[in-house]
Amino acid sequence: MRAWHAAKNSWHGLVYAFKEESAFRQELFLFVVLTPVALFLPISLLEKTALVCSLILVMVIELLNSSVEAAIDRISFEHHDLSKRAKDFGSAAVMLALLISALLWLSICLPLLINMS
């Protein structure tokens, strides 16, 4: 029963993120578009998994960033240096996850493009 409630809470979190977080919607769009691309590329299963997992990682970090922002906003909307720092750290984490994903996609797909020409 506990697992069912946890799954339900997780689903609610995903739905809320989709409805309220434009960055999450953009990253979900990338996931929906790029996952089939990854699955049809002539690469190993491990490479396909790395590409898809890199996209999932971006969404995971975005959810954590949104969690930090919600907690900070719950405390106060008033400007505070520590609140700004916490939000900036979360934003930086998303940026680094996007960089990891881009590097993986480039390193795996670039040789395919070079071999095609």
Where do the DSSP E strands lie in the chain?
Answer: none
Angle, alpha carbons 105-106-111 (nearest 5°): 110
Give the orientation angle of helix 2-20 with respect to helix 22-40, to 10 degrees: 110
Catalytically active residues are 62
What is d(CA 66, CA 101) in angstroms, rounded to the nearest whole number?
A: 19
CA dihedral 30, 33, 36, 38 (to 10 degrees): -40
- Which amino acid type is present at position 54? S
